[in-house]
Amino acid sequence: GAVVSQHPSWVICKSGTSVKIECRSLDFQATTMFWYRQFPKQSLMLMATSNEGSKATYEQGVEKDKFLINHASLTLSTLTVTSAHPEDSSFYICSARVRAGGYDQPQHFGDGTRLSIL
């Protein structure tokens, strides 16, 4: 159980293009989803937290107009990198968390999306 699917796994596009990444919880309802960015040989850096039906909360230094997050349903969140530039090239990973029975549950991660901007 607790499978998180992320799509696409790899995308290459030209500078100035907008790219959408999808994150789905396949066998549970995710009240909260998270978006991370990971640079080579570095740990995960939290970009934003999104709760279903409300605006995402962005971490300090993350441009909300650059990284648009939509969490329209309990099983789907999307991250859109708008007008992407080479410096946006990175490994983006989503995670999802369900809160059940009043107890905190751990985050389960997708397999990540490798974004390369030419």
Partner 1 sequence: QKEVEQDPGPLSVPEGAIVSLNCTYSNSAFQYFMWYRQYSRKGPELLMYTYSSGNKEDGRFTAQVDKSSKYISLFIRDSQPSDSATYLCAMSEGSYSGAGSYQLTFGKGTKLSVIP
Nearest to 70 by CA among 60, 62, 80: 80
For residue 57 the two structure tokens come to: 């909360």
Per the CB < 8 A criterion, the answer to whether 22 and 78 are in contact is yes
Between 71 and 108, CB nearer to partner 1: 108
Contact between 106 and partner 1 per CB under 8 A: yes
Contact between 60 and partner 1 per CB under 8 A: no
- Stretch of residues binding partner 1 (CB under 8 A), selected from 43-51, 61-69, 72-80, 81-89: 43-51
Q: Would strands 113-117 and 10-13 be described as parallel, antiparallel, or unpaired? A: parallel
Residues that bind partner 1 (CB under 8 A): 2, 4, 6, 32, 34, 41-44, 46, 49, 51, 57, 91, 93, 95, 97, 102-104, 106-112, 114
